Amino acid sequence: MSLARPLSTETQAATTAAVHRDDAVSIERVDVPDPGPGEVIVAIDLATVCGADRKAAQNQQGQARILGHEGVGRVLRAGADASVEPGTRVVWAPTVTCGRCDRCRAGLTAACRKSMSLGEQSIDGPWPLSGTFARHLLLPRGAAIAPVPHDLCDPVAASAGCSAATVISAFDAAGSLRGARVLILGAGLLGLTAAAYANDSDAASIVVVDRDAARRHLARTFGATETVDPHDGLPDADIVVDFTRSGDVTSAALRALTIGGRLILVEQHRSTPAPGHGNADLDTHRVTARWQSVSGVSGAEPHHLSLAIDYLTEARSRWPWEQLVTPAVPLSYLPSLLAGPAPIAPRTAVQPRR
């Protein structure tokens, strides 16, 4: 992966301190690089804040960096052989892959041996402008980039590269949903998107499981036919998609899985364990005797990014997507936003150029 050389122009970015302190995030000026072959410079229109960003800011250790990985923007400059042209509105995947290792060649780029993640690169390293909490972002060669239609608003488009693409990846592993009883564990942004997608895919029923009553209520507005607290027991299901990685809930879902059922365990890019995280109890005799399958999904492949954009564009009028993101604030508000408690909405947002 070639990385660009700095120019004299600068941008503003929210950077973390190299060691944890109360003012761990501050707004700094950073060089804007000249894009090299296959690279693009994106002007960020909107970036969203997920729980992983908040945890990273509050527990910062080690190298200083620019946080953030979800966003939408427009290509400002493009190097030779870049996949998109200046002026194109785009979203991107949260990791950049090499495209050459054995895993990439096998079509498992999400498990690339040399992957680099947005929001995790040292500001003193070869890719300093690597986070979305900035006015500009450099996307190196190997980044998965997808054009975004103009009629898909920024708050909805921003989720495509990470959350929505991961949901598409999970259901790709699950197979056909038509007529299936689908059980979704977790009512965060992924679980809510999954409920809408399952509804649009003609699932017979969509049950969303979450401990939080407000999130269960929100799931109803995104296509859930039923919502339950995990302590109240789980109904039988043909397909279980687990976004929680919570051992006790996963174990209960395994017991609820029907004969021939499929359990999809999902890990989002840089996701963090949910409360109660731990190992699930796997009764191997039950799994084999009932012809069940258990699959793992970590992130998404490049084609899932384009499929996520297509789905969000087609479904934009059926579900209240805008309720999932708070009104955007200027970049200068980000330090206090990251330090404060998480809002009810699954995502908060910043507009770096305000």
Whether the CA torsion 202, 193, 187, 215 is positive or negative: it is negative
- Whole-number Å distance between alpha carbons of 307 and 89: 16
Task: Concatenate the DSSP letters of all residues of 180-219 into one string.
Answer: -EEEEE--SHHHHHHHHHHHHTT-SEEEEE-S-HHHHHHH
331 three-state secondary structure: helix
Place of tokens 């397909």: 239
pLDDT of residue 3: 56
- Whole-number Å distance between alpha carbons of 243 and 50: 14
Rg, the chain, Cα only: 20
Burial of 316 (0-12, 13-18, 19+ CB in 10 A): middle
Residue range 88-137, pLDDT digits in tens: 999 999 999 999 999 999 999 989 999 999 999 999 899 999 999 999 99
34 three-state secondary structure: strand
Place of tokens 């190992």: 279
147 three-state secondary structure: strand
- Whole-number Å distance between alpha carbons of 70 and 72: 7
Sequential pLDDT tens for the chain (354 residues): 555 554 448 899 998 875 555 567 889 999 998 999 999 999 999 999 988 888 878 776 668 899 999 999 999 999 999 999 999 999 999 999 999 999 999 999 989 999 999 999 999 899 999 999 999 999 999 999 999 999 999 999 998 999 999 999 999 999 999 999 999 999 999 999 999 999 999 999 999 999 999 999 999 999 999 999 999 999 999 999 999 877 888 899 999 999 999 999 998 554 444 445 567 778 788 888 889 899 999 989 999 999 999 999 999 999 999 899 999 999 999 988 888 887 878 999 999 988
Amino acid identity at 183: L
